[in-house]
Chain A
C-alpha cells in the first residue's frame, strides 16, 4: 500500500536492524536488559523500537508468568522480529510493560554513525579544550565508522 516511510534512530554506537530488509529498529542506547530468551534464542529488552507493526494483544504463558503481549513485525518487509509487553499479571514482572523484545536471530547489528552536526560540536569542544588530543580523536572516530561500515554491509 504505497511505499512505507521508514525512520532511523540516532545512535552513534550501534543499531539494530531487521535481518531481512535492513530497516532500522532501535539503537543500543535503548537497551534495558540482555537476559531474555525467545523462540530463536537470545533476545534483548528495549524500551523504544520504531518501524514496527503490532498485532492484537494475546495472552501468553511464559516461563516468568502470564503476560499479555503483541507480536512485532518489521514495517517494511512484514517479517517477525519479536514482541511487545502490554501487561504483566505478576507484580514483579511489571517492569517489562511497554517494552519491546527483539530476538537476536531475527535482527542484525550495524555500527552507528556520528551525526555531522555532533561531529562538529565535538571538534569545536575539543579545539577549545585542548589542541592535540581533540584533533587526534576526531579523524579516528569518523574513519572508524566509515571502515566498519564497509566491512559490515552485505548485499
Chain B
C-alpha cells in the first residue's frame, strides 16, 4: 500500500509559517485522531486544510496531491487522495513523519526542489522523532502504528501490525462497509495497510456472481500452495463441474470435451465422476440442454460459497457480518455469567453488552416480600402451585387447606378452604391434578388416614369437615399421593410406608383394584409426563421408577444419605434431592450421575422441600434448618446467589410460580406465607402488613362462623 506523500504540506509550512502555525493549531487533531484512527472530523479537517493549502500555493505543490495513486480507490478524488494521510496538520517547524520519504512512486511526480526539501525535512524529523514512532507533531507524538505495506518494501514503519490486529481491522472495515461508510473504509484501508479482502477474494466473489467458472478455477489454481491437497482437488473439481454444466446447458459439447480432457484431474478418486460426465457427452444435445438448463441441477451459489469459505485458507474469505456475530457471541457469554439473569432473551434497553458487561440487577429477580398471608394459624408445611399457575394450595399442621388465587405477579387472593379432619396430625403431601381442578392430600406421620381428593371449586361449610364431595382413598392406608400430569385423566398413584403402592383411576373406580408393587416404604412420589412411569423415593436411600402397565421397576438413583424429599424439573431431565445430612443434590436422570451439590443449607431433622424455578428452571430455592432465610442457587453454582430474609421461623415449603417467573412463595413455622416478587422499577417499597385474606370484607366466601373476633383488615385494593 503506497502512501500519498505529505511533501505537499512542507512548502506550505515553510512559506507562511506564521499563519499556518496558528491554522495548524486550529486543525490539531484530537488524541484518538493522532493515534491514527480516522474520524469524520479528521477527514473534514484534512479536506479543509487541503483546500487552504491548495488555494494559496503554487501548482507544483498541488501536483503531488493529484498524482496518480497506486491505490485504486483514490483515483480522481482529490479529498480522498489526501484522506490517506490522516495526520495532516503539523506545526510549521516540525514535520510529519508518516509518509515522508517513504514513497518511491510519488517521488517520480514531484519536482526536484520538492524532493530536496523533503530530504531536508527527513533529516530533521529523524533527529526530532521520538522513539521511532511516527509523530504528527513533536509536541504530541502520535502513536499511530506503522504498517508494512503489502506490496511496497520501503517503509519508515517500525511496528508492523500483528496478525491479530490486522484481522481485527479487516473485520472492522467489513462492518463499516456494510453500514455504508465507504469513505471511512478507504481511509482505514489506506492507513492500516490491510485490505478487507485480498483482491483475489474480491475477484472470486465477482466471478461467482457472474458464474464465471473459468476465472474461478484460475483463482483456485493461484491459491494452490496455501491450501491442502485434498481441499484443492475438491474445490477444483467442484468448479470444473459447474463449468461443465454450463457447457452442457449451452450445448457446447466440444468445450465440455476439452475441459474433461485437459483440466479434469486424473486422480483415481474422481474416475467415476469423470466417466459420468464423459458419458454425458454422448447423450443427445437437446436432452442435455433441458437437463442442465434446469437450475435445480446447478448447485446453489450459497452452497458453493459455503464450501469455498470452508476450504480456502481462513484469512482469504471473510464470513459475512463477522463483527456482528462476534458481538452477539460475547453477549451470550455475558448472559450466561450473569448471576441473576431471570429474563429470557435480550433486554431491549442498554448497550447489549457492547459498552459494559451485561449484568442483571435484582429488578427482575424476586427480592422483596410483596404480601404476607397469615390465614394459617399453624405451621405451614406444604405449598404447591397448580399446573396452570393460577392457584396456590397450602396446608400445614392444622389440617386446614387454603387455596389462593394468583392475581398478578405480586399478589394472591383468597379462594377457598377445606378442613379435613380433627384427628389429623397435619397434612404433609399435596398434589394437583393435571387440569388444576383437584387436589390430593395425604396426612402426615404414621397415622394413615388415606388420601383425600378435593374439588377446589366447591365451596364447603367448614363446620362439617368431611363431606360427600371429598373422595377418600384407602382408609388406613396411604400417606403420599401424586396425580399423573395428564389433564384428561385423573389417575393417581398412592403409596405409604407400609408397603402399599397402587395406582387408581378416580374417574372410573375407587375400589382397590389397581396393581401394586410390594415391599416398599415410599416417602415421596413423582409421576412423569408420559403417563405411565412413577418415580418413588423410599427409606433405603433410593429413587426407583415404576411402570404400572407392565409392572417393571428399576433403580435409578442410590443415594448415600436418607432422602427427605425430591422433585424434578419440567423437562424431567434433572432430579433435585434433599437429603438428610448430605445437602441438596442434583442428579441427571438420563445418565444417573450426580451433577451438583448445593451448599449452605442444613437439613437434619425436619422436612424441607426445595424446588426448581425461574426462567428455564435455572434456579433452585430452598429453606434451611436453623436460619429463617430462603436460599436461592443458580443451577450451576454451588453457593447461593441470593438470600431472602424476612420470615420469623424456619421455612418448610417453597414454590416458584410456573407462570410468573419472578414470583416465589414460601411458607414457614411462623404461621405465615410470604409472597416474594421483584420490585417494580420506580416505585417506593413498603413493607407489607400481614393480612388474613379469608376475612377480607368483600369476599363472598367468608366463612359464616367466626370463632373469635379477628381484626378486620382494611380491604385490599389491587
Residues of A within 8 A of B (CB): 1-8, 10, 17, 21-23, 75-76, 113-119, 142, 145-146, 149, 153, 155
Closest to A7 in B: B562
In the complex, what residues of B have CB within 8 A of residue A113's CB? 498-499, 519-521
Residues of B within 8 A of A153 (CB): 448, 476, 498
Separation of A155 and B475 alpha carbons in the complex (Å): 10
**B residues neighboring A (CB under 8 Å):** 379, 381, 397, 426, 428, 444-448, 476, 497-499, 517-521, 539-540, 542, 553, 555, 562, 564, 580, 605-608, 625, 649-650, 652, 669
Across the A-B interface, the 5 shortest Cβ-Cβ residue pairs: A2-B606, A22-B446, A116-B519, A8-B539, A3-B607
Residues of B within 8 A of A23 (CB): 445-446
- The docked-state distance in angstroms from the alpha carbon of A145 to that of B499 is 9
Q: How far is the CB of A66 from chain B (nearest CB, A)?
A: 32
A2 touching B607 by the CB < 8 A rule? yes
Could you show 21 A-B contacts with beta carbons less than 8 Å apart?
A: A1-B379, A1-B605, A2-B381, A2-B652, A3-B428, A4-B607, A5-B605, A6-B446, A7-B539, A8-B539, A21-B446, A22-B447, A23-B446, A76-B445, A113-B498, A116-B518, A116-B520, A118-B519, A145-B519, A146-B518, A149-B498
In the assembled complex, how far is the CB of residue A33 from the closest CB belonging to chain B, in whole angstroms?
27
User: How far, in angstroms, from A113 to B501 measured CA to CA in the complex?
Assistant: 14
Pairwise interchain contact A10-B499, C-beta atoms closer than 8 A = no
Q: Which secondary structure dominates where chain B touches chain A? A: loop
Contact A3 B521 (CB under 8 A): no
Least Cβ–Cβ distance between A5 and chain B, in angstroms: 5
Residues of the B chain whose Cβ atoms lie less than 8 Å from the Cβ of A149: 498-499
A3 close to B499 (CB less than 8 A): no
| Measured CA separation A75–B564 after assembly (Å) | 16
B564 and A5 form a contact (CB under 8 A): yes
Given contacts A7-B539, A7-B580, 8 further A-B contacts (CB under 8 A): A2-B381, A2-B606, A2-B625, A4-B606, A5-B562, A5-B564, A116-B519, A145-B519
In the complex, what distance in Å separates the CA atom of A142 from the CA atom of B518? 8
Q: Which residues on A sit within 8 Å (CB–CB) of B426?
A: 3
Nearest B residue (CB) for A17:
B446
**A residues in contact with B381, CB < 8 Å:** 2-3
Q: Tell me, rounded to whole Å, the shortest Cβ–Cβ distance linking A2 to chain B.
A: 3
Provide the residues of chain B in CB contact with A155, threshold 8 Å: 476
Which chain A residues lie closer than 8 Å to B669 at the CB level?
A: 1-2
> In the complex, which residue of chain B has the Cβ closest to the Cβ of A21?
B446
Collect the chain B residues with CB atoms within 8 Å of residue A116's CB: 517-520, 553
Residue in B closest to A118 when the chains form the complex, CB atoms: B519
Q: Are A115 and B540 in contact (CB under 8 A)?
A: yes
**8 Å CB contact of B444 from A3, A114, A146:** A3
- Contact across chains for B608 and A2 when beta carbons are under 8 A apart: yes
What's the Cα separation between A8 and B607 when bound, in Å?
15
In the complex, are the beta carbons of B521 and A1 less than 8 A apart? no
Contacts of B498 on A, CB cut-off 8 Å?
113, 149, 153
A116 vs B397: C-alpha distance when bound (angstroms) = 32
Taken together as a complex, chains A and B put the C-alpha atoms of A119 and B555 apart, in Å, by 14
Q: How far is the CB of A12 from chain B (nearest CB, A)?
A: 9
Nearest chain B residue, comparing its CB with the CB of A143: B518
Q: How far is the CB of B465 from chain A (nearest CB, A)?
A: 17
Across-interface contacts of B397 in A (CB, < 8 A): 3
Residue of A nearest to B651 (CB): A2
Q: How far is the CA of A3 from the CA of B521 in the complex (A)?
A: 18
